Chains A and B, each alone.
Chain A
């Protein structure tokens, strides 16, 4: 069962998610080794596949580096839940087929180590530890379509293929 890793912080920035000293590569496996390194050096070791990062406002602020999303995906993180997200990071998540969950008050509703089950379509988080159900506003349809296709380029490719088939 995915567990929550709670960081009671606002403004967790892209330099903390993946320090720029590692940006000399775009190899996801390499980036994943350093996920959240300057925030919590032990994160990669304790993260099991599907685990969830929970944080406060403005998660992912700073650089436009998509490496931040790739590091998180590479570390097999299942989701990031934050009170709010920085704009470019949010967009990069959607473009990479990774669902960012915006949930004001998340830090009051989820404690470190809580076991969570997320239903993206319904927009609910089942907190098994606390035996509560938390609702969140699902992504708008156009963004959901991109995430469902696995990312923006997959989405574009699918659309272009559709067009060609229509012409035929």
Chain B
């Protein structure tokens, strides 16, 4: 029986010739992502249990991102603990403030993500890295502690669901619209415990940035991981970028691999989507919801804070001004600089936006654009749960960067295609 790409990667990591869905395995971890919220508790646990060690300081990437630059005294203390530990353990790839960025944008950009590897991170959106044909999943602090100390973790091999993305994306429609449609169809637990494997011709026209938006939100359907096969786009992105080891293994699913389900999406038929409160599965096409007044727009996050997202938002805002508070958050220092070099920062300034330092910021209700009672925010982020960006009675509407920018310009939910 054939294996899926996920089964092949996990078999390799478990040192077995083959595995199948449901198998319990002990897998070797190739890379661990650490940030400021979940890693400090992991460090404390390791110290408390007297196993204060690091399995390999070359295989851990550390960046503060959620509350950086420190938003208050308690978060400053978290950063201090993270900083002291990273220095004490000689973590090779530590990105302190100034080089720090939103983890899931930073690690791929800085060349830490290799195809075929098993990657874990103390963050649910760690599934993002699956865009590089890797197995990647989010874990909590205890798992993180165990992985840091031992370089091993147990997994149940997930069954795979196949998502065939057919057709081509229309003008003004982006990969965020695709994943919001997927989640709308299957629900926020539609992929619970599963690997979501994305295939199909529509992926060919998507950059690595666009693909990462798709795998990033696998967790919003309950998925254990999201994964996209390796191709020329992947190879070109990685060339000259990888840090440390530059070789990698490419796995692909066998033609007779087993899938628990197959869902086909005709991307040609999609229009810009908006997910209404309070679940990412509440997606609606913009034609059915345009006109709803908004109080704030937020453009950033690990889902849509990359340079391509900034370009899409700027294309809408160029020569226009925003009617509502608009916060633009480039996900990494490099993207921040690119925004200046490409003239995007000027466009956002002229439009009346504020540009922040790289941070997860208000996406999770941290800071940098918190909502008051009753306010509505059109946001390029990934979750619209109750109270996610501020007051429990505020509302978050999820969309792609062009839709968020167009809605900022009009002060209400707006189809971006009229500006493009």
Name A residues whose Cβ lies closer than 8 Å to a Cβ of B: 10-11, 13, 15-16, 19-21, 23-26, 38-39, 57-58, 61-67, 69, 84, 86-88, 91-92, 95-96, 142, 151-154, 156-157, 160
Contacts and interface: CB of A to CB of B under 8 A. Distances in A.
Contacts of A25: 74, 77-78
* B66, B140, B189, B386 interface centre (most CB from chain A within 10 Å): B140
Contact of B366 (A20, A69, A86, A154): A20
Nearest to A156: B146
Given A61-B189, A87-B222, A24 B78 contact: yes
B300 to A, nearest CB: 15
Given A16-B386, A87-B222, 9 more contacts: A23-B37, A24-B67, A25-B74, A65-B37, A66-B140, A86-B192, A152-B142, A152-B145, A153-B142
Contacts of B72: 24
B140 A86 contact: no
A19 B149 contact: no
Question: Which residue among A15, A38, A96, A151 has the maximum number of chain B CB atoms within 10 Å of its CB?
Answer: A15
Which among A24, A65, A86, A154 has the highest number of chain B CB atoms within 10 Å? A24
Nearest to A59: B189
30 contacts: A11-B188, A15-B386, A15-B388, A16-B387, A19-B387, A20-B364, A20-B366, A25-B78, A38-B387, A58-B192, A63-B123, A64-B122, A64-B138, A64-B140, A66-B38, A66-B41, A66-B140, A66-B141, A66-B142, A86-B222, A87-B222, A91-B139, A91-B140, A95-B142, A95-B143, A153-B49, A153-B51, A154-B49, A156-B146, A160-B51
B75 interface: yes
Contact of A24 (B44, B74, B150, B188): B74
A115 to B, nearest CB: 30
Contact of B224 (A16, A87, A152, A156): A87
Given A25-B74, A26-B41, A64-B124, A153 B385 contact: no
Given A15-B383, A21-B365, A24-B75, A88 B139 contact: yes
Nearest to B189: A58
Nearest to B67: A24
A62 B24 CA distance: 24
Consensus secondary structure, chain B interface: loop
Nearest to A94: B142
Interface in B305-327: none
Contacts, number: 132
Contacts of A23: 37, 66-67, 364, 366
Contacts of B154: 142
Nearest to A85: B192
B251 interface: no
A144 B387 CA distance: 34
A102 to B, nearest CB: 12
Given A142-B24, A153-B51, A26 B67 contact: no
A143 B383 CA distance: 30
A56 B147 CA distance: 31
A92 B42 CA distance: 12
Interface of B: 24, 37-38, 40-41, 44-46, 49-51, 66-67, 71-72, 74-75, 77-78, 122-124, 126, 138-143, 145-146, 149-150, 154, 188-189, 192-193, 219, 222, 224, 279, 364-366, 383, 385-388, 392
A33 to B, nearest CB: 14
A15 B385 contact: yes
User: Of residues B45, B124, B142, which shows the largest number of chain A Cβ atoms within 10 Å of its Cβ?
Assistant: B142
A11 B187 CA distance: 10
B123 A64 contact: yes
Contacts of A156: 51, 146, 149-150
A27 to B, nearest CB: 9
A163 B159 CA distance: 33
Given A58-B189, A64-B139, A153 B124 contact: no
Given A58-B222, A69-B140, A156-B150, A19 B192 contact: no
A23 B192 CA distance: 25
B44 A26 contact: yes
A5 B407 CA distance: 41
A145 to B, nearest CB: 11
Given A64-B122, A156-B146, A57 B74 contact: no
A21 B366 contact: yes
B120 to A, nearest CB: 10
Contacts of A91: 139-140, 143
A151 B140 CA distance: 13
Which 9 residue pairs spanning A and B have beta carbons closest together? A66-B140, A95-B142, A92-B140, A24-B74, A26-B41, A58-B189, A64-B124, A20-B364, A64-B138
Max count, chain A CB within 10 A of own CB: residue among B38, B51, B126: B38
B394 to A, nearest CB: 11
B50 A62 contact: no
A15 B280 CA distance: 14
Given A19-B387, A21-B365, A69-B140, A61 B222 contact: yes
A13 B139 contact: no
A157 B49 contact: yes
Contact of B189 (A20, A57, A157): A57
B37 A157 contact: no
